Structure 1
């Protein structure tokens, strides 16, 4: 990645192995609904990385069970989701050593950012807890969509779009890069090999053929 001067990192699945915990949190928060609805939602959730909890919960009510979601109910669901995340995700053993070692080695001479679908204040608190905040020039999350954060990061940087790359594990990450005319590197999701370069390992840095 020597040709790049700035790297925008996705968080879940790239820096932290968070997907199982977030899946559990969603299923707990929506536990009062039918198993059929939860299974449909789980498939949607797993196929749509990089999308905020706010959008996913709206999808559950609008597209899956087709019921209104009063604000009080939405807040209860978000509170239940947050409780599981806070209990289970604040755990340094979930850091992905392959990527975090690369970040620790190169943050002093490359410009690193995080752009995530995770809620921003929770994300920043988590990065502080994990003692990784200092590696990043900016840490950004929802409710602002990732594609907008990528746009703002690129606009406010001294580097040109051709010097940026986004590293992610979902098609949503790929789309955020494509729509902002920056490069994309897939990681930790073999399905992304079909859309461009794919990182097999950071240590040593190795790409799929």
Structure 2
């Protein structure tokens, strides 16, 4: 019996992945395109990882440059400005999952756990009018595996009664690490490997 649902955000509750792709390209527009392309490949293969990890990857792994936490934060803040300007848009919400959330948020404990910045997510969720549907909205810089663990511990949830719905392998890994169920959504490759989320499942 499922009592608690953990939701990823990008690609699951909102069609925001293309906007986030564009955001990285805009922020790093002054760097060589081939280097930015390497970052984009890493970004798209690791949808559940935070921008903090991705900016560090770009500078340390692609450009072989040292970067401090403070410098990473500057890049993350620039990225967030672009996101807030473009993602507070109800037209980007995914109807299937939002209809399910709105119809069932009083039946299940619902939480957002995302690789996107936590403060940014709370502003976006409030801006599009869905924040009241979730008991908490959590994001980076805390890794998703730890976010799930924190919510489980804080609320004394029973893992076998919880499920995480996500669209990336990082979402599956966060669920597996915390011994909760996982349902794939909006990603054909994941759906072929793992059970798929459909409103009729519940």
Please report the TM-score for the alignment, with normalisation by the length of structure 1: 0.91
Residue 52 of structure 1, aligned match among 50, 53, 71: 50
Is there any run of 5+ residues in structure 2 with no aligned partner, and where? none
Partner residue, 1:122: 120
Closer/same/farther in 2, CA of residues 182 and 70 from structure 1, 3 Å limit: closer
Secondary structure at the aligned position of 1:198 is classed as coil
Q: RMSD over aligned Cα, in angstroms?
A: 1.7
Write 1 or 2 for the structure with the bigger share of helix: 2
Partner residue, 1:82: 80
Secondary structure at the aligned position of 2:164 is classed as strand
Which segments of structure 1 move beyond 4 Å, counting only runs of 4 or more? 70-73
Q: Distance in 1 between matches of 2:154 and 2:68?
A: 38
Residue 45 of structure 2 corresponds to residue 69 of structure 1 = no
> What is the aligned residue count?
202
User: Superposed, which structure 2 residues align to 1:26-175 within 5 Å?
Assistant: 26-69=24-67, 73-175=71-173
Which has the higher mean CA deviation after the structures are superposed, 129-138 or 63-72?
63-72
Is there any run of 5+ residues in structure 1 with no aligned partner, and where? none
Q: Deviations over 1:72-128 (max 9, x none)?
A: 754443333122212111111000011000000001111100001111111111111
The Cα of 1:67 is off from its aligned counterpart by 1.5
Q: Distance in 1 between matches of 2:27 and 2:112?
A: 26
Closer/same/farther in 2, CA of residues 21 and 162 from structure 1, 3 Å limit: same
